[in-house]
Amino acid sequence: HSSCTRYPDSAAELVPASDEPTTRIHSHNVGLRPAREGGPRVEAQFIDVPSKDALIPKLLEAPGETKTFLVVHAYGFGPAGYQQSWGAAEEVVRLMKENLSK
């Protein structure tokens, strides 16, 4: 495809290392939406993050403290992701409401 042959010429502007003689394109996977083995993952999980972590703003830090965050996973829908997005979004909202009320 012509866009693949043009890639090396235009990529060097954005990523200079791509112009190195040792850089090789192994494959191109544009537009593929791989499905998660076992089906989509839509679930909630609480994770503890140490306060020294860069994810936590400095104002919230206290030495040795951890902060607990709710993470809602919603991925792995494969090529039907667009069609399933409304249902997935509703499930994410339900999971957030359910878990934030605890």
Structural domain harbouring 9: 1-30
Residues 44 and 83 in one domain: yes
pLDDT at res. 53: 56
Task: Render pLDDT for 60-91 as a digit per residue (tens, 0 to 9).
Answer: 556 667 888 999 999 999 988 889 999 999 99
Strand partners, 77: 35
Residues 6 or more apart whose Cβ sits within 8 Å of residue 64: 51
pLDDT at res. 83: 92
* Share of the chain residues as helix, strand and coil, in percent rounded to the nearest 5: 40, 20, 35
Strand partners, 5: none
Residues 26 and 40 in one domain: no
Residues 84 and 45 in one domain: yes
Residues 70 and 101 in one domain: yes
Three-class HEC string of 38-71: CCCEEEEEEEEEECCCCCCCHHHCCCCCEEEEEE
Structural domain count, the chain: 2
Residues 49 and 97 in one domain: yes
Q: pLDDT: is 34 or 81 the higher one?
A: 81
Q: pLDDT: is 73 or 8 the higher one?
A: 73
Is pTM beyond 0.85? Reply is no
Residues 24 and 41 in one domain: no
Residues 46 and 88 in one domain: yes
